[in-house]
Structure 1
Amino acid sequence: MPIDPDVAIGAELPDRSFSWTESDVLLYHLGIGFGSRPGDHLDPATLSYTNDTADLQVLPSFGVVVPTFHETAPPQVSFPGIDIDLAQVVHGSQEITLHRPLPTSGSGTVHTRIAEVWDKGKASVIVQEGSAVDEAGEPLFTTRSSIFVRGEGGWGGERGPSTSVELPDRAPDLDSTYAVTPQQALLYRLCGDRNPLHADPAFAERAGFPAPILHGLCSFGIALREVVQGLLGSDSSSVRSFGARFAGIVFPGEGIRVLAWDEGDRILLRAEVAGSVADRNGAPVLADGVLVRA
């Protein structure tokens, strides 16, 4: 079978060395919507993410993509004990914890292992954990992510723990909507994710979607950006960790509505699909997440 949990669980993947520049940071920020609203080109807080000056900040979610930022080939889902079709895969969850604010340029190495494989019945969930250090061996960040593999479940494994986020029963402290541009996925794919699911209509149809969908990690970055700008004074150093569980998809041309509740040491959020151009009913949930303050 394409997934052998006895081989996969605990497998160590080859270390990956990477580097990044200020230009990579700027491209990533533009890819998740910094600078897209009227007046952003004059706003000092926004310019601290879109202009390469001494004030340039790095949004923490950049750490999730920086190890593969310069990749130009579609991702391969082939690991020890795992060999599956990319068309079966969607992002399930993502979390990053920072050990210090990310510098605007640098280099590092990330070590990744397969932590768990869960059996969801009609699908499997593959969980990876990564730990990155800089060129001096000092910790940069740790990550935990999962992919949802349709059609590869039912092998008798454990289902895994619940990862739901319980939201407060009160009005949110932030309610903002970002209009996903028609070319958003095409721009974001230049940040190292050339999965054809986000650009090729024929591949998207083979994967079961009527059109290319936005990258889950682009939505991840958009949601974090909205909260940092809306509740944290645009200060990226205020973020210790950010994690989200993906529950749906969004198409370029739709909108992402972010609702967030400030609970003191952490902020809870929900992202919904808004302004649908696909005539979807209601406001489908896109993701729930938790931001922990530094």
Structure 2
Amino acid sequence: MPIDRHKALSADPSVREISWSTRDVLLYHLSLGAGSDAATDPELHLTFERGLQVLPTFALVAGSGISAGEVPTMSVNMPGIDTDLRSILHAGQGLEIHRPLPPSGSATVTSRVAEVWDKGKAAVIVLESAAAGPDGEPLWTTNVQIWARGEGGFGGEAGPETSWTAPQRPADIVLETPTTPQQALLYRLNGDLNPLHADPEFARTAGFDRPILHGLASYGLVCKALVDGALDGDVTRLNGFSVRFAGSLFPGETIRTSVWREGERLVLHSTCPERDNAPVLTHATAKVTS
């Protein structure tokens, strides 16, 4: 079904109530490798319920974990948009954290289609969501860009072109983040049960040799590496994190992240060293507190 941009943009926002438990947070952290060197550092602030801190990127899976009973769907359906799951890729992700996330809690999430760009052979769907706690105060805001192959040509604008290059100086920090062969199988228990990340046959129909790691898994892995390696392990110092997903990563590969400090802003560039530093995350910035 062709995209109806006007219908998508004029639709009423959707509102849903979500909740999460300490178990959901612990699973999320474990799926990002927390505690993997338990003999030396069990990372109890991320892996044990007493004094548990919450990585800001947990906001992207809050309320959709396996305990929420989420069921995979073979399409993306919203007013004016109906596309097959095989045609979509997560193109970009932005997150702004307004206050530290509690280890368990609830929120009201209001979501809308903010824009739909016509790229000719594809469409870019921009989704915005805002979460507020039971007290009505903001918790987080997200911006998601979805690349829908074969859904362009509906007559809309192409949208802004944004060029990006890494700073032309040596990085202040370089972070190495290994992944495991089972990383995607574990991460999908946070709620994203897209078979692209588990089923080899499905992955081949989508154009990949084998299942790929979730974009949000790479996002979370880099977030954890950034907190550990640049923010002294203090999750409350990360206030925002925005990236473009520039390339796929296969479970078992490494993420190498170069970090440049620019005041209360960090610029990042993540690559895969096993494939000649092929880009993984670009246009990446983090807002931090000194």
Distance in 1 (alpha carbons) for counterparts of 2:69 and 2:212: 20
Note the C-alpha offset of 1:120: 1.2
Task: Give the count of matched residue pairs.
Answer: 285
2:286 aligned residue: 291
> Structure 1 residues 267, 58: CA separation in 2 closer, same or farther (over 3 Å shift)?
same
* SS of corresponding position for 2:221: helix
* 1:171-186 paired onto structure 2 within 5 Å: 171-186=170-185
Segment of structure 1 superposing worse, 81-90 or 9-18: 9-18
Q: Aligned match of 1:49 in 46, 49, 58?
A: 46
Q: RMSD value over aligned CA atoms?
A: 1.5
- C-alpha spacing 1:6/1:253, structure 2 compared with 1 (3 Å): same
CA drift at 1:122: 1.3
| CA-CA distance at 1:174 after TM superposition | 1.6
Query: Retained in 2: the 8 A contact 1:125–1:146?
Result: yes
Question: Contact between 1:12 and 1:112, CA under 8 Å: does it hold in 2?
Answer: no
- How far apart in 1 are the matches of 2:152 and 2:162? 19
Which deviates further from its counterpart, 8-17 or 243-252?
Answer: 8-17
- Assess, with a 3 A threshold, how the Cα gap between structure 1 residues 175 and 95 changes in structure 2: closer, same or farther: same
In structure 1, C-alpha distance between the alignment counterparts of 2:273 and 2:12, rounded to whole Å: 40
Distance 1:199 1:108, change over 3 A: same
Letter in structure 1 aligned against 2:47: T
1:14 offset after TM fit, Å? 2.5
Match of 1:222 in 2: 221
1: distance between equivalents of 2:168 and 2:209? 35
Q: Is the 8 A contact 2:177 2:222 kept in 1?
A: no
5+ long unaligned stretches in structure 1: none
* Partner Cα separation in structure 1 for residue 224 and residue 87 of structure 2: 29
**Residue type matched to 1:35 in 2?**
G
Aligned to 1:119: 118
Equivalence map 1:116-195=2 (5 Å): 116-195=115-194
Q: Is the 8 A contact 1:10 1:116 kept in 2?
A: no
State the AA in 1 paired with 2:50.
T
The yes-or-no answer on 1:4 pairing with 2:4 is yes
Q: Matches of 2:12 and 2:223 in 1, distance apart?
A: 30
Q: 1:261 to 1:71 in 2, by over 3 A?
A: farther
Give the secondary-structure state (helix, strand or coil) at the position aligned to 1:61. Answer: helix
Does residue 58 (structure 1) correspond to residue 61 (structure 2)? The answer is no
C-alpha deviation, 1:13, in angstroms = 4.1
The residue aligned with 1:19 is 19
90-99 or 67-76, which moves further after superposition?
Answer: 67-76
- Cα distance in 1 for partners of 2:272, 2:69 equals 29
Q: Secondary structure at the match of 2:181?
A: coil
Q: Specify the alignment match of 2:258 in structure 1.
A: 259
CA contact (8 A) 1:92 1:147 kept: yes
Deviation at 1:163, TM superposition (A): 4.0
Counterparts of 2:286 and 2:150 in 1: how far apart (Å)? 32
TM-score normalised by structure 2 residue count? 0.94
CA distance in 1, matches of 2:135, 2:217: 30
Report 1:101-116 matches (<5 A): 101-116=100-115
> Deviation per CA, 1:80-123, whole angstroms, max 9, x where unpaired?
00111000011011111111011111011100000000011211
CA distance in 1, matches of 2:163, 2:224: 22
CA contact (8 A) 1:246 1:286 kept: yes
> Could you tell me which amino acid in structure 2 is paired with residue 26 of structure 1?
L
Distance in 1 (alpha carbons) for counterparts of 2:195 and 2:13: 24
- Identical residues among aligned pairs (%): 49
CA-CA distance at 1:71 after TM superposition: 4.4
Query: What is the letter of the counterpart of residue 50 of structure 1?
Result: T
Distance between the aligned counterparts of 2:175 and 2:240, measured in 1? 21
C-alpha spacing 1:174/1:243, structure 2 compared with 1 (3 Å): same
Distance 1:229 1:165 in 2: 26
- AA aligned to 1:243 is S
Task: Give CA-to-partner distance per residue, 1:239-280, whole Å, 9 cap, x none.
Answer: 1111111111001121111111111211110111123xxxx4
Q: In 1, are the aligned partners of 2:28 and 2:58 still within 8 Å (CA)? A: yes
- TM-score (ref. length: structure 1): 0.92
- Alpha-carbon distance change, 237 to 8 in structure 1, aligned in 2, over 3 angstroms: same
